[in-house]
């Protein structure tokens, strides 16, 4: 009966996508991020001077609107190169390749910021489900699922010691009126935060987040304790 209620309310969709994304992808690639960024930094010391940005920046648009090419989302974001590939045998596929792309983000003062950034790919599935009659996802349900996906993923990653300090989740809600450089401003704000963390020049106050920046408090869905992801076990089960 509980299973049927969960399926009817679609509560299991976002949880499943978040856990699959973590176990099948993030848990594999994130622990290797620092080494990959360090290798690139040795060859290009001027591009990644701030070590706090040596992580994967994961975009979580609550609209689930994901672009295959970031340049099409915002012309102030330009592809630079790919970081070192990770090749593993995975689920019967020999030499499956995992890699990340490095981008240059131009800010309002024409300064370039460099970082590895990509969308959380499961959001494409949520968007596709909202377009498929079989899934019967409304726009409102998709938004709630996107919020739940973010909350669940955040909790999972917080409990993962091997992924600590290797990622930054960037959740945002796009403005109703189109802004051509909205996304680049969002990313740059986070990069500036990381830069401030490294140089420890806070002067007793924190930079004010943009009006669209979201955190867990703003994504409160009144989820019960039993619905939240459980702490990760370390005994191999």
Contacts of 118 (CB under 8 A, 6+ apart): 56, 57, 58, 59, 100, 101
- The pTM assigned to this predicted structure is 0.82
Contact (Cβ atoms closer than 8 angstroms) between residue 145 and residue 128: no
How much is the pLDDT for 5? 43
CA distances for 23 relative to 13, 28, 177, 192, angstroms: 15, 7, 36, 30
CA distance 24 to 7: 23
Into which CATH architecture does domain 1-204 fall? 3-Layer(aba) Sandwich (3.40)
Tell me the residue length of the chain: 237
CA distance 208 to 162: 30
The end-to-end CA distance of the chain, in Å, is 27
How much is the pLDDT for 172? 96
How much is the pLDDT for 139? 84
How much is the pLDDT for 48? 83
User: pLDDT tens track of the chain, all 237 residues?
Assistant: 444 544 445 557 899 999 999 999 999 999 999 899 999 999 888 888 888 999 999 999 999 999 999 999 999 999 999 998 888 888 888 888 899 999 999 999 999 999 999 999 999 999 988 887 776 678 888 999 999 999 999 999 999 999 999 999 999 999 988 899 999 999 999 999 998 887 754 345 554 444 445 555 555 544 444 444 444 433 433
């Amino acid at each position: 009966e509980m299973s049927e209620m969960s399926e009817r309310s679609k509560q299991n969709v976002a949880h499943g996508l978040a856990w699959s994304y973590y176990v099948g992808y993030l848990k594999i690639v994130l622990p290797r991020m620092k080494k990959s960024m360090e290798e690139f930094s040795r060859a290009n010391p001027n591009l990644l001077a701030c070590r706090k940005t040596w992580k994967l920046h994961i975009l979580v648009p609550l609209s689930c609107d994901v672009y295959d090419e970031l340049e099409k989302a915002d012309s102030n974001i330009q592809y630079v190169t790919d970081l070192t590939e990770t090749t593993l045998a995975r689920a019967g596929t020999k030499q499956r390749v995992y890699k990340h792309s490095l981008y240059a983000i131009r800010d309002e003062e024409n300064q370039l910021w460099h970082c590895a950034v990509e969308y959380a790919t499961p959001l494409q599935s949520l968007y596709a489900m909202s377009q498929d009659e079989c899934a019967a996802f409304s726009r409102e349900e998709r938004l709630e699922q996107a919020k739940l996906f973010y909350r669940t993923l955040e909790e999972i990653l917080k409990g993962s010691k091997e992924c600590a300090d290797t990622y930054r989740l960037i959740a945002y809600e796009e403005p109703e009126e189109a802004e051509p450089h909205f996304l680049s401003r969002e990313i740059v704000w986070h990069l500036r935060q990381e830069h401030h963390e490294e140089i420890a020049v806070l002067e007793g106050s924190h930079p004010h987040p943009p009006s669209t920046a979201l955190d867990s408090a703003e994504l409160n869905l009144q989820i019960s304790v039993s619905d939240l992801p459980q702490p990760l076990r370390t005994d191999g089960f």
